[in-house]
């Protein structure tokens, strides 16, 4: 068989696409490195040249999906008419919508700053949603906390400069407190880590009562986090909206559809 020489980045991207298809279809835990190698038609050596492990593969996939998510909200990020607070809230709202389309999406440091991807049609949205759940649902299992952190770090590396740019605009406009934008972006993203336990509980809730309690607790926590972000940025309470009332329940309902 003639060997087809491909650009390394193209090869890596194809491996990720194969992994994504398998993870979305069968789930992360039911996919082996061999499955990915077979589907991609590459050697074991070639695979390990790009990814040291299956965990590294999911990490890279989370990063790619986060990048795609950011590209999908480029209009909000680039619109010259938006002031910093409107841009930040629009950015958060757009990610919430993406999240509804692809719930539970990959874990971000918080529900609302996490990456996500959208879909063109309702049917494919439902398919993607199911796929995301299968691929990333496992990450919120207690035994996968390590993987959660790896994915988190990958998503954060994508989100930090995006968030820092919005914060820098707010500082320039004199609306946000004058603080180092990158440091503040990192703080806000790390802050979101404090929602992990509440998100995990919401994802693992089984009965209606458990779901109601988990949704209330998460929504309350998101409200507190919004208030904390208001304070860090120097805004009036209620300026940053991390969730509309009912949002958490809607995401949880979308997830089980």
232 is a site residue for a copy of itself (CB under 8 A): yes
The Cα 60–Cα 156 span in angstroms is 12
Cα 116 to Cα 9, 55, 101, distances in angstroms? 22, 19, 9
Give the nearer residue to a copy of itself in terms of CB position, either 24 or 140.
140
Question: Of residues 49, 150, 165, 249, which one binds a copy of itself by CB under 8 A?
Answer: 150
Closest distance of CB 165 from a copy of itself, Å: 18
149 is a site residue for a copy of itself (CB under 8 A): yes
Residue 105 neighbours by CB under 8 Å, 6+ apart: 65, 98, 99, 114, 115, 116, 117, 132, 136
213 is a site residue for a copy of itself (CB under 8 A): no
Cα 169 to Cα 73, 76, 130, 162, 163, distances in angstroms? 17, 13, 37, 11, 10
Closest distance of CB 187 from a copy of itself, Å: 5
Question: Of residues 212, 224, 238, 246, which one binds a copy of itself by CB under 8 A?
Answer: 224
Q: Which of 239, 146, 139 is nearest to 199 (CA)?
A: 139
228 is a site residue for a copy of itself (CB under 8 A): yes
168 is a site residue for a copy of itself (CB under 8 A): no
The Cβ of residue 150 has, within 10 Å, a number of other Cβ atoms equal to 16
Return the SS3 of 74.
helix
The Cα 100–Cα 253 span in angstroms is 9
Name the one range near a copy of itself by CB under 8 A: 36-44, 124-132, 145-153, 161-169. 145-153
Q: Which of 108, 107, 132 is nearest to 118 (CA)?
A: 132
Give the nearer residue to a copy of itself in terms of CB position, either 49 or 177.
177
Q: Is 35 exposed, middle or buried (0-12, 13-18, 19+ CB in 10 A)?
A: middle
Question: Of residues 153, 168, 175, 253, which one binds a copy of itself by CB under 8 A?
Answer: 153
Give the nearer residue to a copy of itself in terms of CB position, either 29 or 35.
29
Strands, E, within 138-230: which ranges? Answer: none
Closest distance of CB 196 from a copy of itself, Å: 9
CA 44 to chain centre: 29
Closest distance of CB 194 from a copy of itself, Å: 4
Mutual angle of helices 247-255 and 196-204, in 10-degree steps: 50
| Binding residues with a copy of itself: total (CB under 8 A) | 27
Name the one range near a copy of itself by CB under 8 A: 38-46, 89-97, 125-133, 149-157. 149-157
Give the nearer residue to a copy of itself in terms of CB position, either 49 or 149.
149
Q: Binding marks (x or -) toward a copy of itself, 172..201, rule CB under 8 A?
A: -----x-xx--xx-xx-xxxxxx-------
- Kindly list the residues in this chain that would bind a copy of itself in the complex (CB under 8 A): 145-146, 149-150, 153, 177, 179-180, 183-184, 186-187, 189-194, 220-221, 224-225, 227-228, 231-232, 234
């Amino acid at each position: 068989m003639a060997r087809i020489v491909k650009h390394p980045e193209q090869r890596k991207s194809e491996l990720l696409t194969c992994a994504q298809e398998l993870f979305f279809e069968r789930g992360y835990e039911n996919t082996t490195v061999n499955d990915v190698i077979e589907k991609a038609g590459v050697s074991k050596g070639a695979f390990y040249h790009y990814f040291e492990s299956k965990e590294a593969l999911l990490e890279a996939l989370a990063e790619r999906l986060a990048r795609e998510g950011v590209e999908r909200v480029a209009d909000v990020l680039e619109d010259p008419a938006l002031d910093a607070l409107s841009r930040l809230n629009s950015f958060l709202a757009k990610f919430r919508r993406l999240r509804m389309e692809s719930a539970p999406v990959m874990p971000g440091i918080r529900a609302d700053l996490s990456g996500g991807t959208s879909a063109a049609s309702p049917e494919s949205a439902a398919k993607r949603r199911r796929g995301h759940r299968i691929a990333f649902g496992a990450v919120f299992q207690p035994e996968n906390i390590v993987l959660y952190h790896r994915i988190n770090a990958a998503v954060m590396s994508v989100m930090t400069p995006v968030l820092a740019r919005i914060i820098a605009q707010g500082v320039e406009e004199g609306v946000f407190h004058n603080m180092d934008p990158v440091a503040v972006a990192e703080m806000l993203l790390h802050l979101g880590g404090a929602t992990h336990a509440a998100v995990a509980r919401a994802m693992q809730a089984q009965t209606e009562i458990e779901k109601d309690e988990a949704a209330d607790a998460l929504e309350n926590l998101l409200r507190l986090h919004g208030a904390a972000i208001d304070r860090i940025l120097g805004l009036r309470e209620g300026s940053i909206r991390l969730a509309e009332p009912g949002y958490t329940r809607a995401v949880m309902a979308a997830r089980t559809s």
